[in-house]
Amino acid sequence: MCQLFISADDSLWSSKTKSLRIQGVVTSIRLEVFFWDILEELSFRDQMTVNQLITKLYLESLDADHDIGNFTSFFKGLLFSLFVFNSRW
């Protein structure tokens, strides 16, 4: 199992910050490239932009009364869960 991590592409774990607007408010999200790749796949699948998908997920999490004091951490958990448990990619 350690070989999986040792031989992994370093670029997947480097961070990238992107600015976006959610309901008219400019913000930024810093995620590892791995998570941005998942977002690209999901947004392509759902025929929307990455910014539209992030906004949709944010608003849905508010509607569900999730405590999202740290949206980036919440978002990483959500994306990882979608990646691992969603077989409908």
Cα–Cα distance for residue pair 81/86, rounded to 1 Å: 7
> Given a cut of 50, is residue 29 above it in pLDDT?
yes
Q: In this structure, what token pair is assigned to residue 82?
A: 């979608």
Task: Provide the pLDDT confidence category of residue 43 given band limits of 50, 70 and 90.
Answer: very high
Give the list of residues 6+ apart from residue 54 with CB closer than 8 angstroms, or none: 20, 22, 29, 39, 75
pLDDT, residue 40, reads: 92
> Given a cut of 70, is residue 3 above it in pLDDT?
no
Query: Which residue has better confidence, 1 or 50?
Result: 50
pLDDT, residue 89, reads: 43
The pLDDT tens digits for 67-83 are: 777 788 887 888 888 77
Q: What is the mean pLDDT of residues 11-34?
A: 88
pTM: 0.75
CB 28 within 8 A of CB 17: yes
